Structure 1
């Protein structure tokens, strides 16, 4: 019985949480992100984990450089088919995400923090945008992707 319970907990732990967006902060909370399988990090529904848009709390210079930071909250790396993280941005009205950067998943452990510098697209002042990070697991034993978004204002 204990063996079955341990196996079940392992399976549940592997399918419940995976990637958190730190900067800019993700929609929702960052509660528990220093623990593997934090519930706010396991959003499987694209494009933004099923979370509703928020009023932009962060701004950045249109056409400027910006550092995006995110955490692999639970590792899903597999040597046969390694995954990746993609950083994208869209105007909040179009939801047409454009790739800004890719980061290979090289098997770093759970709770690893990644930072990538991106050049933001040039938009008119006061344009609301959505920054999105997707963890594409490419692991047949895991969900295909995990999504996080942050609402920003370009100035």
Structure 2
């Protein structure tokens, strides 16, 4: 019984937080992000961890470059089968259809490390501003960790003049 409780405690403490998106800011709160294992960084269900969309406060121009900043809040590096980090853009309402714009391999950098991805914002389909979702993923490929962690930010993409 005691070993079962100890195992549960280890799983909860290891599997409680892993990816925070700092810029653009993620939908959920950014509390305790300087602590490895922050509750602000655990979203395990795709897309977007099932967090309710917010009112878009970031307006971007199609064709512009955007630097996305995210945090490896808790390290799940697996040297046998390294995972990866991904940045995608899409329409969460349309069956969670996302287009990957950036991918980089996970490395042994420690918990709380910051990563950046420079992406080119795609042109909107319509002539008006188009609400889209920017999604970051930490795909662990680690059998001792959840398979994927998610964070999302709501954005509006405007057509270039």
| TM-score of Structure 1 vs Structure 2, range by shorter chain | over 0.9
Q: In 1, distance between residues paired with 2:128 and 2:117?
A: 24
What are structure 1's unaligned runs of at least 5 residues? none
1:7 Cα deviation after fit: 5.7
Q: In 2, distance between residues paired with 1:19 and 1:26?
A: 10
1:12 Cα deviation after fit: 1.7
- TM-score norm. by structure 2 comes to 0.89
Q: Indicate the residue corresponding to 1:109 in structure 2.
A: 110
Q: How many residues align?
A: 155
Q: Indicate the residue corresponding to 1:126 in structure 2.
A: 129
- TM-score norm. by structure 1 comes to 0.92
Structure 1 residues 10-21: aligned runs within 5 Å? 10-21=10-21
The Cα RMSD (Å) is 1.9
CA distances 1:9-43 after superposition (whole Å, capped 9, x unpaired) = 43322111100001100001101111011111011
Q: Indicate the residue corresponding to 1:43 in structure 2.
A: 43
SS in 2 for 1:28: coil
Moved runs in structure 1, 4+ residues, more than 6 A? Answer: 2-6
